[in-house]
Amino acid sequence: MARGVQINVLNGGLGRTVSAPDAIFGLILRGTFPQLDSTPTQITNLDTLIDLISYSVGGSNSSEQDNAYNQVAAFYSFPKNYGRKLWVMSVPVTVLQSAIVDYNQNYAKKLIEAAKGEISLLFISAYYANSYAPVILNGLDTDVDTAMTKASILAATFAGRNMPLRVVLDGIKMSNIAALSNFATTGTRNNVAINIASMDGKVAAQGLLAGRLASIAVNENAGAVEFGDLGITESQAKLTSGQSLSSINDNTLLESAADKGYITFWEVFSRYGYYFCDIPTVVRDSDDYKYLNDGRVVDKVQRLVYQVLIDYYLKQVKVNQDGTLDIMTVKTMEGKVENSLNINMVAKGEMSYAECIIDPAQNVLSTGQLLVGVRDTPTGTLRTIIVNVSSYNPAL
């Protein structure tokens, strides 16, 4: 028997929460890189990538090496990304984009599983040999269309495993904006986006888009003017059709691409440099998760709620005499969920309001099932600002 005073230091009274990764991305590169070939790898800086692909700065490199270097260099060009983890992997150039994102093949699936679900956005850089001759339909390589379906299934499957994910495809071989499908009216995939902005006129600027998104909050838009221009030159501002923005010289045409559901560059009047026009997914305008930032918010909510509620799996809960849930149990669970969302999102300005609702009248004894409702009120996005200017005579 212990005598005297025994003091136990208890834990859990501060209500601290577990955060969830929301700016860890994956990048799959097409190219011949033995150290990265189907090998999921974490990097935190450009120098690591240089070693992995045997890149010679200022030296003679293959086009595949140049693309890999440029994509990763663009990601780390944003100061906030210094030291940030990026998952990378390469696949042979012959592997089609639709195969890369196919859940039944061991490419994207392998990378996401190696990262244990911490990848929230997956980018495909579909470098291709000059001999590649695609079939063009509706302004894009038909394989991109096939990849949309496969990528949506991939993302939905991992979301069902509590590893929410969205995929950004490379809009290679875009013929012209006018021919592109209008996803604003026909699209059905809010977990997939297509990037047709390019820094070389060949493949999409995936590293640049990933870098911008990683450097901002989940609810923020990569095209927001307040973040400044993208730091690219006039010669780098292109589309995957090979056209330069300076040759197009038509913001209305570029806006129409964004309105149709594609990510592209554009210029902002009275501001220097180039910006992303918007970050739509390939879904109709009425969808709640039309834009990548909308999806990133709800994905973070899913990750946080899972972290809270998984601790209740197989837990015994008290019920009242009439079989309903004990109100203290209900309020404790609701409070933990709301506390996590408030600390990790609302307080950071990533969400306006969060609420968790559990009906205590549920028959847990019979079903073993508990239905939990979580509602998040997002922040708003100013896409159109209308200003009415008129003259005023104070003497009248």
| 298-353 confidence digits (pLDDT tens) | 999 999 999 999 999 999 999 998 888 999 999 999 999 999 999 999 999 999 99
Residue 102's nearest CA partner among 153, 175, 163, 168 is 153
Token pair, residue 193, equals: 């986006």
The rounded distance, in Å, linking the Cα atoms of 357 and 19 is 21
The pTM score is 0.93
pLDDT at residue 16 in the model: 55
| Residue 332 amino acid letter | T
User: Which tokens go with 158?
Assistant: 């991992």
> What average pLDDT does the structure give for the chain?
93
Is the predicted pLDDT of residue 11 greater than 70, yes or no?
Answer: no
**pLDDT at 3 exceeding the cut of 70:** no
Query: Tell me, what's the pLDDT at 190?
Result: 96
CB 354 within 8 A of CB 377: yes
Where along the chain do its domains lie?
A: 25-297, 317-396
Q: Looking at residue 392, what DSSP letter applies?
A: -
d(CA 297, CA 220): 9
What is the predicted pLDDT for the residue at 5?
A: 59
pLDDT at 148 over 60: yes
Distance, CA of 185 to CA of 166 (rounded, Å): 20
* Backbone angles phi and psi of 319, in degrees to 5: -125, 160
State both tokens at 6: 């025994």
Check: CB of residue 172 under 8 Å from CB of residue 124: no
Band of residue 6 on the pLDDT scale cut at 50, 70, 90:
low
Q: What percent of the chain has pLDDT over 70?
A: 95
Amino acid identity of 273?
A: G
